[in-house]
Amino acid sequence: MTDSTPPPSDERDPPADDDVHAGADVTLGGYFETHDRPPAFEGVDGQPYTVSVEVEKTANLKAPYVGYLVFPRWAETGVGIVGHVETPVLWEGTARDDVLAEAGATPLLRVKGLLDEAIRRKTEGTE
């Protein structure tokens, strides 16, 4: 008699080499660490963007650091930056490194959604 118990799903369906949802680079910080460059996205407007994390010091004593994303828009030729959009403040913390850690844990799919939201706000003039 043979064991009819199926193997664990990870043995049946190993992740494909091109699976964008597997690996260390599925978060913003993981992508920076793995590739040593910012991720690139095509915005909802069809234009090419990259992303940077910005952290600023504020007067708020409980959370003196805030972070947000800036998305430089590149010329279609990739030769230079021709504009940008940015998010509102997304993270607050007591230390710069805390804010950077929160930003780094953000999934790239969420970053893409934030880019598209920022483009829509700018297009609609609600920035």
**Is residue 12 assigned to a domain?**
no
**Is residue 96 assigned to a domain?**
yes
Residue 31: phi, psi to the nearest 5? Answer: -65, -50
**Is residue 5 assigned to a domain?**
no
The two structure tokens encoding residue 85: 């959009």
Residue 5: phi, psi to the nearest 5? Answer: -70, 125
* Segments forming the whole domain that contains residue 77: 42-127
The two structure tokens encoding residue 103: 């930003």
**Residue 23: its pLDDT value, please?**
78
**Residue 9: its pLDDT value, please?**
46
**Is residue 26 assigned to a domain?**
no
CA distance to 2, 19, 55, per residue, from 13 (Å) = 22, 12, 40
**Is residue 80 assigned to a domain?**
yes
pTM of the model: 0.80
* Count of domains forming the chain: 1
Tens of pLDDT, residues 78-92: 889 999 999 999 999
* CA nearest to 22, candidates 36, 37, 38, 34: 34
**Is residue 28 assigned to a domain?**
no
pLDDT band at 11 (very low <50, low <70, confident <90, very high): very low
